[in-house]
């Protein structure tokens, strides 16, 4: 978690020079993220959204061990990437 926080801080400090794509946003609405990406880099987005379809499924991954998510929320600087406290 210390390594994650280190790199999260670096990314946050240089955020104005980067285009960040959060995994959750990408799988939730890939077409919107593609448009956002294209807008950031001043390139034309495909008119059909690139034919992207979300393949996100609620049961795709097993739940983390009990207490793990709470530990991550407590120790990692998630606010740097616009994650709300939950």
Cα 35 to Cα 50: distance, rounded to the nearest angstrom: 10
- Residue 12 falls inside a structural domain: yes
- Residue 86 falls inside a structural domain: no
Instruction: With CA atoms as reference, report the closest residue to 83 among 73, 75, 68, 70.
Output: 73
* Number of folded domains that form the chain: 1
- Residue 7 falls inside a structural domain: yes
Quick one: pLDDT at residue 6? Answer: 94
The residue segments making up the domain with residue 77 are 2-81
pLDDT tens per residue, range 74-86: 999 888 888 875 4
Percent of the chain scored above 90 by pLDDT?
Answer: 23
- Residue 46 falls inside a structural domain: yes
- Residue 29 falls inside a structural domain: yes
User: Is the pTM value of this prediction over 0.85?
Assistant: no
- Residue 27 falls inside a structural domain: yes
- Residue 16 falls inside a structural domain: yes
């Amino acid at each position: 978690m210390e390594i994650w926080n280190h790199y999260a801080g670096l990314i946050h400090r240089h955020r104005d020079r980067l285009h960040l794509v959060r995994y959750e946003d990408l799988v939730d609405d890939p077409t919107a993220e593609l448009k956002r990406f294209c807008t950031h880099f001043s390139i034309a987005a495909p008119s059909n959204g690139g034919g992207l379809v979300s393949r996100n499924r609620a049961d795709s991954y097993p739940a983390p061990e009990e207490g793990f998510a709470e530990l991550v929320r407590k120790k990692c600087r998630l606010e740097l990437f616009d994650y709300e406290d939950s």
